[in-house]
Amino acid sequence: MASKTILVAAIDFGTTYSGWAFSFKHEYDTDPTKICARQWFGGQLVSMKAPTTVLIKPDARTFDSFGYEAETKYSELASEDNNEHKRWYYFRRFKMMLHEKMGLDRNIYLEDETQKSLPAKTVFSHVIRYLKEDMLKNSRDRLSSGHIREDEITWVLTVPAIWTDAAKQFMREAAIEAGIKTENLKIALEPETASIFCRLLPVEKMIEGGGMVSFKPGSVYMVLDAGGGTIDITVHEVLSDGKLKELHKASGGAWGGTQVDEAYRQFLISLVGNPVFHRFQVENKEDYIDMFRDFEIKKRDIAPDNDNKVTIRLPSSLKEIFEDESGEDLRKAIMQTKYATEVSLTGDKLRINASVMKSLFSNAIQSTVSHVKELMKDKIVLSVSSILMVGGFSESKVLQHAIRSSFPNVKVIIPQEAGLVVLKGAVVFGHSPSSVSHRVCKYTYGVNTAMVFDNTKHDIRKRIEGDTGPLCKEIFDKHVEIGQSVALNMTTTEKTYFPLYESQSSVTVPVYASAQKSPMYVTDDGCVKLGKLIINIIDKSVPIGERSVLVTMTFGGTEIEVTAKEKRTGHVTKAIVNFLG
């Protein structure tokens, strides 16, 4: 925590929705679940988080608006006849560009709605800065003095646990660019913060299918964090001291609630055709945004046991564009599609059979259920007695039913306001960052080195001549492996490295990660260079065999610290591994 922390503020930067929450230290000490979060309003839609949408002015630098306000302003600009909106930068649902990018570049660019580009970090930092300032304004209103110093705030930024180390570092750097000091910032993993918060909730705040909800020591449960972009899954055990131990490395995929939105978009395209829908999206931005806000409300109410037809208002502009392009009547045209018996249009009301609406969830649900079934085959996961469903998509009754019916022998637990527990748990994590004692490595980490060449196992193409004889270059010397449990701030076994040549005045230690358990060479598939340390050799008068460098790695929450010590002099070099090159 920041020194003399009196306030912990968390930012949940989501794919579809983002928000903030905070609590003061004295409130946390009295009741850790007493956390303040803002309500956001967009037409008829009221939510505890706002759409992850940002509008930037034509100068490509100046922030204009965020969330529902950005959506509304951009749609108003787009409704004008002068194409003014095309000069503005409008970004939405852009967080997924960080998903599964092992070799992420900090200078990567993002394309907006009209294919104009800006540096991704600029866009991310605009959102973080806005949420930071919005939170500060609201928290200061509750202080009699009205002032909080920067060093009195601990900030927590949430990220999916399945993200790469590079993506996590990218978010940290974006937060720093947004004005948050790195020493006051913690990166928290979303399933962990959800788990931390749910363990504090009384039984009546949990919804489940029978029996008591328990997170007592020894309990093993799966956390299924279903957000807008990703499904993020991990397995936790409650230890005797109440802390959490991760038992299985985080896994999941891009199967969140946005897949349902995309299925709905494809459904509409199947009714009107892609050219018509594209023209509608470009020319009638306000109607397009309103239509998907309406769908968001309907989507939340769809239930597996409800067979009533769903009525959704179809914008008249979409109907007019269709008839202008095709010369056909849309109502009659729908009767010629495969949905002829399931969908009808009366005026501006599209009436859709419940079976069609439920089918929009199929891809997301099938991918999630299949993945959980595969995880359940793992011997580490066999002791799971409960599945804790959190995240906004977990509030879907269709997803809840699918998980319950697919895993009848496991208790399924859904907390009230499942979409907020990640955010509120991040506040708790900020007050008590040691709540998680063990994590499971997502990758194998090691060092690029050389060793004595062995004709029986080494690739002849990697043979080099060192001053002590033939060596094999580009060896991946493993420090920890994928799937290994590491304690918080655990330091790996010290490993010794030597210079290759008498003339060397320094030893370079390149650090690598791999998705393989035991790669032979750093050039093997799945190996990525993370960074390097350079250790100066102070005393070059001693023989090469005595110029040893001792290297260890320390694993914390989301960063890896590498320490290299020259054995003879005791000189130490430390560095945080740079995952962004």
Picking from 116, 131, 14, the residue whose alpha carbon sits closest to that of residue 63 is 131
pTM above 0.95, yes or no: no
Q: Is 212 a residue whose pLDDT tops 50?
A: no
Q: Beta-carbon neighbour count of residue 111 at 10 Å?
A: 14
What fold characterizes domain 441-576?
A: Substrate Binding Domain Of DNAk; Chain A, domain 1 (2.60.34)
**What average pLDDT does the segment 481-503 reach?**
81
First to last CA, the chain: 28
Least confident of 232-241, 463-472, 569-578: 569-578
pLDDT of residue 509: 79
pLDDT of residue 257: 92
Phi and psi at residue 496, to the nearest 5°: -110, 135
The percent of residues in the chain predicted with pLDDT above 90, rounded, is: 57
**What average pLDDT does the segment 129-149 reach?**
80
**What average pLDDT does the segment 448-463 reach?**
94
Q: How confident is the model at residue 470 (pLDDT cuts 50, 70, 90)?
A: very high
Picking from 234, 154, 232, the residue whose alpha carbon sits closest to that of residue 429 is 154
DSSP 8-state code for residue 521: B
Tell me the C-alpha distance between 385 and 400, whole Å: 17
Q: How confident is the model at residue 101 (pLDDT cuts 50, 70, 90)?
A: low
Q: Are 131 and 50 in contact (CB under 8 A)?
A: no
Q: Where are the domains of the chain?
A: 258-359, 441-576
Picking from 304, 299, 224, the residue whose alpha carbon sits closest to that of residue 261 is 299
Which range is most confident: 190-204, 229-243, 359-373, 530-544? 359-373
Phi and psi at residue 533, to the nearest 5°: -115, 145
Q: How confident is the model at residue 537 (pLDDT cuts 50, 70, 90)?
A: low
- The whole-angstrom distance between residue 570's C-alpha and the CA centroid of its chain comes to 40
What SS3 state is found at 447? strand
DSSP 8-state code for residue 533: E
**What average pLDDT does the segment 7-28 reach?**
94
Tell me the C-alpha distance between 522 and 542, whole Å: 30
Q: Is 538 a residue whose pLDDT tops 80?
A: no
Tell me the C-alpha distance between 147 and 150, whole Å: 10
Least confident of 82-91, 174-183, 195-204: 195-204
The more confidently predicted of residues 320 and 559 is 320
Q: Is 3 a residue whose pLDDT tops 70?
A: no
Tell me the C-alpha distance between 50 and 55, whole Å: 14
Q: How confident is the model at residue 486 (pLDDT cuts 50, 70, 90)?
A: confident
Tell me the C-alpha distance between 228 and 254, whole Å: 9
pLDDT of residue 550: 84
Picking from 542, 339, 521, 370, the residue whose alpha carbon sits closest to that of residue 446 is 521
Q: Is 243 a residue whose pLDDT tops 60?
A: yes
pLDDT of residue 144: 56
Matching residue, tokens 């054995």: 567
Picking from 261, 137, 173, 184, the residue whose alpha carbon sits closest to that of residue 3 is 184
Burial 378-398 (b: 16+ CB within 10 A, else e): eebbeebebbbbbbbbbbbeb
pLDDT of residue 171: 93
Tell me the C-alpha distance between 271 and 252, whole Å: 32
Q: Is 210 a residue whose pLDDT tops 50?
A: no
User: 395-443 pLDDT, tens per residue?
Assistant: 999 999 999 999 999 999 998 888 899 999 999 999 988 888 888 888 8
Q: Beta-carbon neighbour count of residue 56 at 10 Å?
A: 22
Q: Is 2 a residue whose pLDDT tops 70?
A: no
User: 356-405 pLDDT, tens per residue?
Assistant: 999 999 999 999 999 999 999 999 898 998 999 999 999 999 999 999 99
H helix or E strand, kind and range, residue 261: helix 258-272
User: 145-193 pLDDT, tens per residue?
Assistant: 557 788 899 999 999 988 888 888 899 999 999 999 989 999 999 999 9
Which residues fall within 8 angstroms of residue 19, CB to CB, at 6 or more apart? 11, 12, 37, 38, 40, 48, 49, 50, 131, 423
pLDDT of residue 102: 57
